[in-house]
Structure 1
Amino acid sequence: MEIRNDWTKEEIKAIFDKPVLELIYEAATVHRQHNDPSEVQVCTLLSIKTGGCPEDCAYCPQAARYHTDVKVHKLLDVDFVMEKAKKAQESGSTRFCMGAAWREVRDNRDFDKVIEMVSGVNSLGMEVCCTLGMLTETQAQKLKDAGLYAYNHNLDTSEEHYEEIISTRTYDDRLETIDNVRKAEISVCSGGIIGLGEANEDRIGMLHTLATMSEHPESVPVNALVPVPGTPLEDQEKVSVWDMVRMIATARIIMPRAMVRLSAGRVRMSVEEQALCFLAGANSIFAGDELLTTPNPEVDQDKAMFQTLNLKPRASFKGAAAEKFLV
């Protein structure tokens, strides 16, 4: 199957709307053409600076304006982060992502510490990823020079629905950061969240934006909202597994070589539901008992699931992203 960047919304909708079993079958077929279906990359996500964020993302417990149970903490020490990275590697993770609750990166001592963290984790032989908010081209290059492999910057939702969720930065701001990451030749990790009160048209719109970028993101996280008390979206209903499967399968078909990440919301899914997602083309998960500030399945549970489903952890620096970024 050829890699296309000229998908229309109508074409994506036709795929998205297929009978679910037919959709899963097609996605599974495409997945096998481009990936080893028995491999799933295990990633660990650590919040290196938590809470106190000036943004107003309606889903996020780290926004300073919402009254949630999140305990604010300043940027972690480099040594502590390195210990966490080593433990993650020992438990099977091959990618280590560090998240800071910042609106944007500022050129200060905290950024210097992050650069040190990136360099340290890179020296372990893990794929290093960061999600730090908006980023300039110069800052992206500094991270690249320190050994950053990937940068996460989610679109969250469609451009049309975006203003219902966030008012403190624009959709174009997000796209500009992704462009800056691309210019620095860092692997792009960008996806979104479902369950924000959006319509199917918004889910299709977000996938359309990702699939028509000049280059597909190497990594596409599909998150199900985990409603947090104190946030504007605290009363949202649980996302159905079939909604997750439709998103994952459609993403797999239109972006065949991307890592499609079964991300937030996994803690509320059974092994059987997760197996459907893997069948539909998901080939990455986040391990560890917490995803930034929301709960996640424990490592032992994931090991048992991998054993049951005969899955194996995917090695670092493998596949389309590695071919491009590690020449």
Structure 2
Amino acid sequence: MAQDLPTAQPVRLRRPAPQAKAKAKAKAKAKAKAKAPLRWSVAAVQALLELPLLDLLNRAQAVHRAHWPEGDIELATLLSVKTGGCPENCGYCPQSVEFDTGVKAQKLMEVDEVVRAARAARDAGATRFCMGAAWRAPKDRDVEKVAELVEAVKGLGLQTCATLGMLEPHQAQALKTAGLDYYNHNLDTAPEYYGDIVDTRSYQDRLDTLQNVRAAGISVCCGGIVGMGEAPVHRAGLIAQLANLDPYPESVPINSLVRVPGTPLADSEPIDPLDFVRMIAVARITMPRARVRLSAGRQQLGEAVQALCFLAGANSIFYGDKLLVTGNPDVEADRQLLAKLGLKTRQAAAQGAQA
């Protein structure tokens, strides 16, 4: 028997008057100036990264156990709902129009297509569904369409997340009204190294979007990428930036660069796998209540390194054979890995509690 698809009502955005918009920006700037003192300096984070590995893992595991229940691993699926054609020049991204990577620009997916993908993800065990669109900054009409996707996916009982580029305050509010739980907008790297990676969007642009998302009452998903040629101090700088956000993100994805042919970073030296483990551990120590997510690049890590990452405090993975347009371990491989490690997912834990 065919199943009815969740229906979504059209959403219409109302732009704020120019005066109201100016007042909101001034208020946000004043709040930023009055922010709390730094919780973590770059030097303090770097000192953690330089600890003997086993000492660092022991410390991270203690922090993790103090703040999270045992075996609470969240499975999240990420779908590219609008692929390619992005005007930005982020050196790691195969979806940029600046680079010849073979990724073709596509239109935004229809609601029924997204719902089918979300239902399949839910049935495979995912509890969170993230929708990514390759825009620099969506237009209001784009946000209206994504809001319909959010409502439909929310109707399946999944947590919802979106990553669409830079957002204005009224756009963030529209997504909140539609039921969006999380918005992803990564800082990518430390501010001192950022200009080596992208120059079509400033670091402050990213911070402004995070502020708009937070002000709308949406939880923040924000992390970065390692293995882009950055120095150890830049890795410490990224963690310090994240940990000093007020409050720090509820969700922190740590990505290992996927070196895509045709991108400027395709020939970057791979990060030492144990240095990646260190990033996970320090993210856990500095942001105890955040979900630390193993994100892009898991295919190249292998099972043993992923096991160390879970020991270091990772408690979420992106689940499914693709992350936007790059490869990811397939569902069965992840199920086998979690079973080997004796880790339970949130869905399995909930089912066990009900039994």
Kindly, what percent of the aligned residue pairs are identical? 54
**Partner of residue 23, structure 1:** 56
Query: Which letter does structure 2 place at the counterpart of 1:165?
Result: I
TM-score where L is the length of structure 1: 0.94
Gaps of 5+ in 1: 319-327
SS of alignment partner, residue 312 of structure 1: coil
Query: Which letter does structure 1 place at the counterpart of 2:189?
Result: T
CA RMSD of aligned residues (A): 1.4
Deviation at 1:164, TM superposition (A): 0.5
Query: Which letter does structure 1 place at the counterpart of 2:97?
Result: A
Deviation at 1:125, TM superposition (A): 1.4
Q: Relative to structure 2, which stretch is displaced further, 280-289 or 7-16?
A: 7-16
Deviations 1:192-235 (A, max 9, x none): 00011110110101111111111010000000000000000111
Counterpart CA distance in 2 for 1:188 and 1:210 is 11
Query: Which letter does structure 1 place at the counterpart of 2:152?
Result: G
**Partner of residue 169, structure 1:** 201
Counterpart CA distance in 2 for 1:184 and 1:154 is 18
Counterpart CA distance in 1 for 2:270 and 2:43 is 27
Note if contact 1:37-1:283 (Cα within 8 Å) is conserved in structure 2: no
Q: Which residue among 2, 10, 13 is the counterpart of 2:46?
A: 13
SS of alignment partner, residue 73 of structure 2: strand
**Partner of residue 105, structure 1:** 138
RCO higher in structure (CA 8 A, sep ≥6): 1
Deviation at 1:238, TM superposition (A): 2.2
Note if contact 2:182-2:221 (Cα within 8 Å) is conserved in structure 1: yes
Deviation at 1:10, TM superposition (A): 1.9
Note if contact 2:143-2:175 (Cα within 8 Å) is conserved in structure 1: no
Deviation at 1:315, TM superposition (A): 4.7
Counterpart CA distance in 1 for 2:215 and 2:347 is 26
Deviation at 1:36, TM superposition (A): 2.0
Taking the TM superposition and a 5 Å limit, the aligned residue runs for 1:265-304 are: 265-304=297-336
**Partner of residue 106, structure 2:** 73
- Are positions 1:50 and 2:83 aligned together? yes
Deviations 1:289-322 (A, max 9, x none): 0100110000011111111111111259x9xxxx
**Partner of residue 271, structure 2:** 239
Counterpart CA distance in 2 for 1:262 and 1:167 is 26
Gaps of 5+ in 2: 1-36, 351-355
Counterpart CA distance in 1 for 2:301 and 2:254 is 14
Note if contact 1:31-1:37 (Cα within 8 Å) is conserved in structure 2: no
Query: Which letter does structure 2 place at the counterpart of 1:17?
Result: E
Deviations 1:237-278 (A, max 9, x none): 222211111100001001000000011000112211110000
Counterpart CA distance in 1 for 2:105 and 2:77 is 21
Counterpart CA distance in 1 for 2:266 and 2:39 is 37
Number of equivalenced pairs: 313
Q: Relative to structure 2, which stretch is displaced further, 66-75 or 124-133?
A: 66-75
Deviation at 1:283, TM superposition (A): 0.4
SS of alignment partner, residue 285 of structure 1: strand
Query: Which letter does structure 2 place at the counterpart of 1:202?
Result: H
